[in-house]
Amino acid sequence: MKDIVIIGAGIVGTSIAHSLSRYHLDVLVLEKEFDIAEGTTKANSAIIHAGFDCKPHTLKAKLNVRGNQLFHEYAQEYHFPFKNIGSLVLSFSPEDDVIIEKLYLQGQENAVPGLRILTKEEVLAKEPHLNSSISSALFAPTAAVVCPFEACLAFAENAVENGVEFRFAYPVTQIKKENDYYLINNEIQAKYIINAAGLFADEIAKLMGENQYTITPRKGEYYLLDKQEPFVQHVLFPAPSALGKGVVITPTVHGNYLVGPTAVNLEPEEKENTMVTLEGMNDIFTKAKNTLPDLPFETTITNFAGLRAIAGNDFIIEPSTVNPNCIHVIGICSPGLASAPAIGEYVTDLLLKNGTTIQEKTNYRKGRKNPLRISELQAEELDALIQQYPLYGKIVCRCELVSEQEIIDSFSSALPPTTMDGIKRRLRPGMGRCQGSFCGSRIMELLHTYGNIKMEELLKSSSTSYLLEKEIKRSKHE
């Protein structure tokens, strides 16, 4: 019998698990995919929003501002990539100026610190490559960029260190109420359920007989540009529209540039439609060039698309009115990433308000050990490390400078990778300019050897993404 079962291991589910791991509770996280962060978390703008664009007195406003504060604190404690670069909302017309002023006043009401409206001269001093027709901008110094996967992994690993269990490749297909507990898939007993299933949270609610929620998937397509000399210093937003924040141009924590997204509402049944379209790419190209005429699209590495869960104008985080001992966390679209740590706190508070008796641990382990990355070491430090452990000097990925030993080390972590993308997202081999053409085969060998997975069963990510068909020959040296 589990005290709490969390359904979904994205940034929201893992943040809730992280928050609950502070207490004496038997917590299980169920995830239908083979790893954390396989849904919305893995494909978004990676921005920790300041909180000025949320309507005052909403959950989005409250949790965004608090989440931003927590991200600044946790980045040091949990050692995930995070850069506090600030953001600019750009005005190119008198109509945009009105929007900028409104956002400023809204941000003031939301208690966003440090907001300022900059003149044209001040904006161009910060971002000299901008279209010269810029007239003003709203500057938010607390905005930041993060690696969503690594933040999610940090929270999940800390939760595991504090006793939370994760079970992957486990889709929830049935939930029954049995007296004073829930029975999941006729196997798992749970006193309490937290529904954090992202795009599929409405379907989990339906399994419990609740049909009042409908999630609309909203697709956003992106360009990812190669690393290069600093071209953009801040997160750059256009003045927002009704569908979202528009085409954003932002540095990433790893030195690339991200451009997008589009915002296209899909049908409810299209929750796995991540196809990139020519129409979407052309739309991003045109709008981004209006902002930065010299943006080097010729350095594009790849294009991708992500999906956001839309279920109204605000987050839905509430106890079920039908099923006692269930909390639904639904419609966590932007600024869901920035809000995630605060959502964890909020759900914990709801449990307490619902009468759940929980005792805080005295032996709770804070933070996470700083992962060793040879790309971050000085030459002398790396030389000394290689003298002791030679495989740190055997480079598997040249684009991102990832060693064989780093990949081997990942298999002994709290949440080891089980797929090729699992290694890619933890350590970045395959993320660079060649997109895995150099390192791919060696990563498969390491996944086979240290992950104890048969070659013909190796997966890229999902249960249908087999990497190899069959063995055709063996080396004569074996």
Catalytic residues, which ones?
A: 49
Contacts of 193 (CB under 8 A, 6+ apart): 4, 5, 7, 175, 182, 184, 208, 323, 325, 326, 327
Q: Are strands 235-238 and 300-310 parallel, antiparallel or unpaired?
A: unpaired
What amino acid is encoded at 260 in this protein?
A: G
Give the rounded distance of the alpha carbon of 61 from its chain centre.
Answer: 19
Q: Is the previous residue joined to 148 through a cis bond, with omega within 30 degrees of 0? A: no
| Strands across the sheet containing 47-48 | 47-48, 144-146, 82-83
Q: Which long-range contacts (CB under 8 A, 24 or more apart) does 350-356 make?
A: 350/317, 350/318, 350/319, 351/4, 351/20, 351/192, 351/327, 354/319, 354/325, 354/327, 356/192
Count of C-beta atoms within a 10 Å radius of residue 412 = 8
Percentages helix, strand, coil for the chain (3-state, rounded to 5) are 35, 20, 45
Answer yes or no: are the C-beta atoms of 327 and 317 closer than 8 Å. Answer: yes
> In 3-state terms, what secondary structure has residue 340?
helix
Tokens of 152: 């999610």
CA distance 122 to 211: 51
What amino acid is encoded at 204 in this protein?
A: I
Answer yes or no: are the C-beta atoms of 83 and 253 closer than 8 Å. Answer: yes
CA distance 105 to 110: 9
- The residue assigned the tokens 């501002």 is 65
Tokens of 407: 């990949």
Tokens of 444: 């498969």
Q: How does DSSP assign 407-433, residue by residue?
A: HHHHTTSSS---SHHHHHHHH-TT-ST
Burial of 441 (0-12, 13-18, 19+ CB in 10 A): exposed
- The residue assigned the tokens 């904006």 is 123
Answer yes or no: are the C-beta atoms of 28 and 20 closer than 8 Å. Answer: no
